[in-house]
Amino acid sequence: MPQLEASVIVPLSPDEAFALAHTVGEGRSWDPGVVRSQYIRGASAPAPGAHFFTKTPSGRRMILELRVVHAPLMSSAEMVKGPAWLASFGEGWRFEAVDGGTKATWKYTYKLASPVFASTLGAATKPVFERELQERAEAFASRAEQLAAV
């Protein structure tokens, strides 16, 4: 099961970085990996059991459930519904106070649905997810810098 991660140092406190990472809707406009996101099924904030919908620019749609939330230190979410080619998908955040701000680490873990095509599809999927994750982390850092400058 591939695990990918990207880390950035941002000039925000862990509380502020956690809040930014968990924005949805229009507040998520900083994220190039999301064209639409919203809490669903009665959820309105990051909490264990909260569900949220996300749609990527490539059209991938997923419903994720927050499984663990320890604000402002970490959170993790697991796909409960998504594309047929993914057997599982999870993402998590870790926030660590460092000199001058917070180290934010974003992690993806996923498993492809078809073992028959896993090596071929996996070879194609991993660099796409790596690039997506890195672009999203860089955009997070850029937005954090904008917020810190205000």
Domains and CATH numbers, the chain: 3-149 (3.30.530.20)
The confidence band for 18, taking pLDDT boundaries of 50, 70 and 90, is very high
116 pLDDT higher than 80 = no
pLDDT of residue 141: 97
pLDDT of residue 119: 67
The confidence band for 125, taking pLDDT boundaries of 50, 70 and 90, is confident
Residue pair 37/64 in contact (Cβ under 8 Å)? The answer is no
For residues 113-136, give the mean pLDDT: 82
Higher-pLDDT residue of 150, 7: 7
pLDDT of residue 27: 86
Residue pair 139/20 in contact (Cβ under 8 Å)? The answer is no
Residue pair 53/36 in contact (Cβ under 8 Å)? The answer is yes
Least Cα distance to 18 among 107, 102, 110 occurs for 102
The pTM score is 0.91
Say which range, 3-17, 32-46, 107-121, 136-150, has the weakest mean pLDDT.
107-121
pLDDT of residue 117: 66
124 pLDDT higher than 90 = no
| pLDDT per position as a tens digit, 48-96 | 999 999 999 999 999 999 999 999 999 999 999 999 989 999 999 999 9
Calpha distance 23→25 (Å, rounded)? 7
CA–CA distance from 103 to each of 49, 100, 109, 133 (Å)? 26, 10, 20, 16
109 pLDDT higher than 90 = yes
pLDDT of residue 113: 87
pLDDT of residue 106: 96
Residue pair 140/29 in contact (Cβ under 8 Å)? The answer is no
